[in-house]
Amino acid sequence: MTDWAIHGFEIVNCNCLPGCPCQFSQLPNDGTCRAMLTFRIDEGHYGSTKLDGLYGAAIFSWPGPIHEGNGQRQIVIDERATPEQRAGLEAIMRGEDTDEFATMFFVFNAMTATSHDTLSAAISLEWDAATGTGSATVGNIGQTKVEPIPNIVSGAPHFASIALPAGFEYAEAHVAQGSTKTPGSAIQLQGIDGTHAHTSELHLTGRGVVRAA
């Protein structure tokens, strides 16, 4: 396998209630799974090709739980990427050069029946850890906004985290709520408003999630 690694930050928003049953090996709230993932690479490589400073995004839709397959996916690559960088990042996001089920990209690829054309766009990601607010914009293809979950009584920001010691996406994620629209994608996400979102350090290699010693 070609050696690769990406280390950066991600924002994810899906259609389930905040907390997301998938994180606890449960079925999705309405039986389906739809989501947009956007990430920034602070340091990364695919073979000898550097990926530092690039962004990527993907839009997903499954008619049932992810593990039942038959999903759709559309990958979006940072428009600043060179042909070599684009090829490397797309290979990573397609789950190539990865141990079986070691990363979310491998899992999502294995559960995808329809891969729409890969797109290029200007991608940006903003996150304020102090306020728990952020956003991800993928050209005119899609946008995610996240904010803290409001306390059910007071309305004050409610902060929670999820730790997954054996997960294939992250070691720990901070839970929020978000909204996503994808007007420029072949996958039109609907009804994603005030639903589960999480932000996390993204540190993956072809062997899986890199965890602190």
Pairwise CA distance, residues 132 & 159, whole Å: 8
For residues 192-204, average pLDDT: 98
pLDDT (tens digit, 9 = 90+) per residue, 10-55? Answer: 999 999 999 999 999 999 999 999 999 999 999 999 999 999 999 9
- Over residues 165-195, the pLDDT tens digits come to 999 999 999 999 999 999 999 999 989 999 9
Report the pLDDT value the prediction gives residue 212, as an integer from 0 to 100.
85
pLDDT at 165 (0 to 100): 95
Give the structural domain span for 187: 4-209
Q: What are phi and psi of 83, to 5 degrees?
A: -55, -40
Query: Residue 55: beta bridge partners?
Result: 40
**Per-residue pLDDT reduced to its tens digit, 77-110:** 999 999 999 999 999 999 999 999 999 999 999 9
The domain total for the chain is 1
